[in-house]
């Protein structure tokens, strides 16, 4: 099976422990495991419409009509441009499961509706608006405007009689998450687990003197002296340093306290902290 160790993908046998493939690690080191959980494919309300002129994406915004649309959108595949004006373009006809209403519809540029011509669901057309206008489209009784074009809007000016919809498909979104757990050497990893045994600090070259201090401090490792909801700190050497790069200390930033109480200490931020003249950003 495949796992990731400190950013590198490796193959290991099923059932082995961390101790088996990282024998040099000792239990005093912290080992974290990042586990992927519940990755699901979710159908969004975005639909890709492939035409003979190119691709458009429409966002379906009428919630009341969404379930019906999901049942019949494939019916519009193969439909040709029935008519085209300077105001709108219509693909159809086809059969749908919508019930018509007798009303005019105001459509803004790039908005989409369904037209049930002659009050018949067997004469359904997919209407794309090119500009703000009002038309007697006999829309579904679920709503007037069904959605809008969010990608490929320029195609509406080029589609004409003879063009057709080749394919319509929902855009699928992968949704999932991960769980971070602390593990010991006897932990048995699963396929896809990411094993994290170390952190890497990218030095900020705007703070060379403090960077050298950091390097010397970490020669024998980082030991947590203090921990708060905002940072973890390593207090080893009390020494005042020249102030160099000052800035907002965001999550993941490493700073050195350059003077005052605990001067010389290393801080790694868990949560954001404001600018402080007593802290130099080193990485």
What pLDDT digit, counting tens, does each position of 92-137 carry?
A: 999 999 999 998 899 999 999 999 998 999 999 999 999 999 999 9
Task: Find the angle CA(66)-CA(70)-CA(76) to the nearest 5 degrees.
Answer: 115
Domain extent listing, the chain: 2-37+177-196, 42-172, 208-281
Q: What is the DSSP secondary structure assignment for residue 122, as one 8-state letter? A: G
Q: What is the DSSP secondary structure assignment for residue 19, as one 8-state letter? A: H
* CATH number, domain 208-281: 2.40.100.10
Which tokens go with 266? Answer: 């290393």
User: pLDDT band for position 26 (50/70/90)?
Assistant: low
What pLDDT digit, counting tens, does each position of 137-170 carry?
A: 999 999 999 999 999 999 999 999 999 999 999 9
Return the bridge partners of 91, or none: 81, 126
User: Could you count the other beta carbons within 10 Å of the beta carbon of residue 176?
Assistant: 11
Cα separation, 253 vs 270, in Å, equals 8
Question: In this structure, what are the phi and psi dihedrals at residue 117, rounded to the nearest 5 degrees?
Answer: -60, 135
User: pLDDT band for position 17 (50/70/90)?
Assistant: confident
Cα separation, 275 vs 195, in Å, equals 33
Residue among 191, 188, 196 nearest 6 (CA): 196
pLDDT for res 145: 95
Query: Cα–chain-centroid distance for residue 134?
Result: 37
Cα separation, 193 vs 109, in Å, equals 48
pLDDT for res 85: 95
What pLDDT digit, counting tens, does each position of 204-226 carry?
A: 999 999 999 999 988 888 888 99
Residue among 108, 97, 163 nearest 130 (CA): 108
Residue among 203, 184, 179 nearest 282 (CA): 203
Query: Cα–chain-centroid distance for residue 147?
Result: 23
pTM of the model: 0.54
Fold identical between 42-172 and 208-281?
Answer: yes
CATH topology of domain 42-172: Cyclophilin (2.40.100)
Residue among 60, 114, 107 nearest 87 (CA): 107
Residue among 121, 169, 164, 128 nearest 146 (CA): 128
Pairwise pLDDT comparison (191 vs 26), residue with the higher score: 191
pLDDT for res 140: 95
Which tokens go with 76? Answer: 């519009």
Architecture of 2-37+177-196 per CATH? Roll (3.10)
Q: Which residues of 250-276 are buried (b: 16+ CB within 10 A; e: fewer)?
A: eeebbbbbbbeeebbbbbbbeeebeeb
Mean pLDDT of the chain: 90
What pLDDT digit, counting tens, does each position of 165-217 carry?
A: 999 999 988 776 777 888 888 888 888 888 888 888 999 999 999 999 999 98
């Amino acid at each position: 099976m495949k796992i990731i160790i400190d950013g590198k993908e490796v193959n290991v046998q099923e059932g082995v422990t961390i101790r088996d493939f990282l024998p040099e690690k000792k239990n005093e080191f912290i080992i974290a495991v990042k586990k992927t959980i519940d990755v699901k494919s979710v159908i969004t309300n975005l639909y890709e419409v492939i035409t003979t002129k190119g691709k458009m994406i429409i966002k379906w915004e009428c919630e009341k009509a969404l379930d019906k649309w999901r049942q019949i959108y494939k019916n519009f595949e193969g439909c040709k441009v029935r008519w085209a004006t300077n105001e709108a373009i219509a693909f159809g006809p086809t059969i749908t499961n919508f019930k018509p209403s007798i009303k005019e519809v105001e459509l803004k540029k790039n908005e989409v509706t369904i037209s049930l011509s002659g009050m018949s669901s067997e004469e359904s057309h997919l209407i794309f608006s090119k500009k703000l206008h009002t038309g007697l489209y006999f829309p579904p009784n679920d709503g007037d405007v069904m959605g809008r074009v969010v990608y490929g809007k320029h195609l509406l000016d080029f589609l004409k009689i003879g063009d057709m919809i080749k394919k319509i498909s929902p855009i699928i979104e992968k949704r999932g998450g991960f769980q971070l757990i602390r593990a010991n050497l006897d932990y048995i990893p699963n396929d896809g687990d990411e094993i994290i045994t170390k952190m890497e600090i990218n030095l900020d070259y705007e703070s060379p003197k403090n960077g050298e201090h950091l390097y010397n401090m970490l020669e024998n490792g980082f030991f947590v002296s203090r921990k708060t909801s905002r940072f973890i700190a390593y207090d080893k050497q009390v020494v005042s340093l020249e102030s160099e790069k000052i800035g907002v200390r965001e999550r993941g930033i490493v700073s050195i306290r350059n003077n005052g109480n605990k001067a010389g200490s290393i801080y790694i931020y868990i949560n954001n902290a404001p600018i402080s003249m007593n802290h130099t950003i080193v990485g």
